[in-house]
Amino acid sequence: MNAIETRALTRRYGKMTAVNQLELQVPVGALYGLIGPNGAGKTTTLRMLAGLLEPTEGQIVLNGAVANHDWRDLRRQIGYMPDFFGVYEDMLVWEYLDFFGRCYGLDPRRRAQVTDELLDLVDLGEKREAYVQTLSRGMRQRLCLAHALVHDPQVLLLDEPASGLDPRARVEMRELLRELGAMGKTIVVSSHILSELAELCDSVGIIERGFLIASGPLQEIQRQVRQGRTLRLRLLSDPEQAEQVAHAQPDVGDVYAAEEGLELQFAGDDDAAADLLAALIASGVRVVSFSEVMSDLEEAFLKLTKGEVA
Partner 1 sequence: MAQPDPTTNRTLAQPGNARFHVALDRIARLRLVPNPIVVKELRSRMRGARAFAILTAVLLVLGGASYVLYRIVLTTSRYSSMPLSPQIGQALFVGLAFLELMMVAFVTPAVTAGAVSGEQEKQTYEMLLATPLRPGAILRGKLVASLGYVFLLIFAAVPMASVVFIFGGVAPRELLKALAVVTCVAVMLGVVGVFFSAWLGRTTRATVASYLFVLALLALPYVAYVLSGVIEQREPPRWLLLPSPVSALASAVAPANQGVNPSGVLGQFGWILGGGISLARSAVSQVGPVRPLYHYTLPLYGGLSLVLYLLSVRLVRPTRRWGLRWREIADAVALLLAFAALVGGGYLLTRARYPSAGLTSPPVPTPEAVVVAPPGVKVVTQQQAVALAPVPTPAFDSAPGETAALSAADRAAIYATVVRQLYWTDHTLDVAPEWEILYLLETTDDADADPNLPHGDPETLPDAVRAELVRLLAEDVPAHVEWVADPDASLDSQGAVHEGSALIVLGNIHAQQDGVLMVAGSVHLGGLGSGGRTYAVAHVEGAWRVTGDTGAAWFR
Among 85, 238, 250, 254, binds partner 1 (CB under 8 A): 85
Q: Is 53 in the site for partner 1 (CB under 8 A)?
A: yes
Give the C-alpha separation, 293 to 258, whole Å. Answer: 12
Q: Examine residue 164 and tell whether it contacts partner 1 (CB under 8 A).
A: no
78 binds partner 1 (CB under 8 A): yes
**C-alpha to C-alpha distance for 37 and 21, rounded to whole angstroms:** 18
Interaction pattern, residues 104-143, with partner 1; x per rule: CB under 8 A: xx--------------------------------------
6 membership: H or E segment, kind and range: strand 2-13
| Among the listed residues 65, 103, 293, 309, the single contact to partner 1 using CB under 8 A | 103
How far, in Å, CA of 82 to CA of 142, rounded?
12
3-state secondary structure of 289: strand
| Amino acid, res. 151 | H
Piece of 88-96, 120-128, 194-202, 243-251 that binds partner 1 (CB under 8 A): 88-96
Minimal CA–CA distance to 217: which of 49, 36, 31? Answer: 31
For partner 1, which stretch binds (CB under 8 A), given 20-28, 31-39, 50-58, 298-306? 50-58
Nearer to partner 1, 89 or 126 (CB): 89
Backbone dihedral angles phi then psi of residue 291, each to the nearest 5 degrees: -145, 165
**Residue 77 burial (CB < 10 Å; 0-12/13-18/19+)?**
middle
Tell me: does residue 242 bind partner 1 (CB under 8 A): no
Instruction: Verify binding: residue 80, partner 1, rule CB under 8 A.
Output: yes
By CB under 8 A, name the binding residues for partner 1: 47, 50-54, 69, 71-72, 75-76, 78, 80-82, 84-91, 95, 99-100, 102-105, 144, 147
